Amino acid sequence: MKKFIWIGAFALVGAAGAVAWSVSSQTDPDDGANPAIASSAPDSAQPAKNADFKIGDRLQQATSAKEVSPITASEQIVYRELLWDDLMPSDWDPMAPFKGMKLEKLKDGDPRAMDALNKAREYWKNAPVESKLNGIAIKIPGFVVSLEREGDDLKEFLLVPFFGGCIHVPPPPSNQIIHVNSAKAVQGIRTMDAVWVSGVLEVNRSETGMGVAGYALAADKIEIYKPPAATR
């Protein structure tokens, strides 16, 4: 299975302020009153907190890319752990807008940086998806970007692969954003909390105020993220 290393470095100075970020793709990767939230690891593991992460961090997964078996429609009853790279077609290059550019050498205020950022945003908004994943029951870890909330109740959010996505840095490609809806509101989940989400994945593009999602998922279970035993 392919590995993607995508690194963006932007220094944008002016009325919009300054943004600098670096993201690497790693292929290794409430209180119990609400049944939709549960522990995803042994009791000895500690839930990850926002303070444990810095911008660009990804969540660890026990399964490596090579160990993920092909996903077939006949296995929809079983939630298959999916890697974020699986959501990107193997022949799609997320770094195509930066070909020939040496981003690390661009200085603050360089107009080429703004141009590169704008091109990347448009390119990533229209990122292709993997149609073979449509209708598959999956489990995947990620960070929450809240969309619909009533007090402490959360029913709708975006799931992104790295800490800070859509909040502190530009949104990732649309094929790296999952629009999650939960029929039953969950409590104790805030923006940028790390969770495991289980449910049926659909290829369904949606545009939100926080980013464009290439996939949608009807959540059957939302679990507080704990590192897999094999990676602690």
Q: Closest Cα to residue 161, out of 73, 72, 18, 55? A: 55
- For residue 164, what pLDDT is reported? 87
Instruction: Give the model's pLDDT for residue 64.
Output: 53
Tokens 């545009």 map to which residue? Answer: 207
Residues 134-186 pLDDT 10s:
999 999 999 999 998 888 899 999 999 999 888 878 899 999 999 999 988 99
**Architecture of the domain defined by 37-91+129-231:** Beta Barrel (2.40)
Q: Are strands 136-150 and 80-81 parallel, antiparallel or unpaired?
A: parallel
CA dihedral 199, 200, 206, 207 (to 10 degrees): 20
User: Is residue 121 within a helix (H) or strand (E), and if so which, with residue range?
Assistant: helix 111-125
Instruction: Delimit the domains of the chain by residue range.
Output: 37-91+129-231
Low-confidence ranges of the chain (pLDDT < 50): 1-44, 65-76, 231-232
* pTM tops 0.85, yes or no: no
Residue 145: closest CA among 164, 129, 127, 122: 164
In the prediction, which pLDDT does 105 show?
Answer: 78
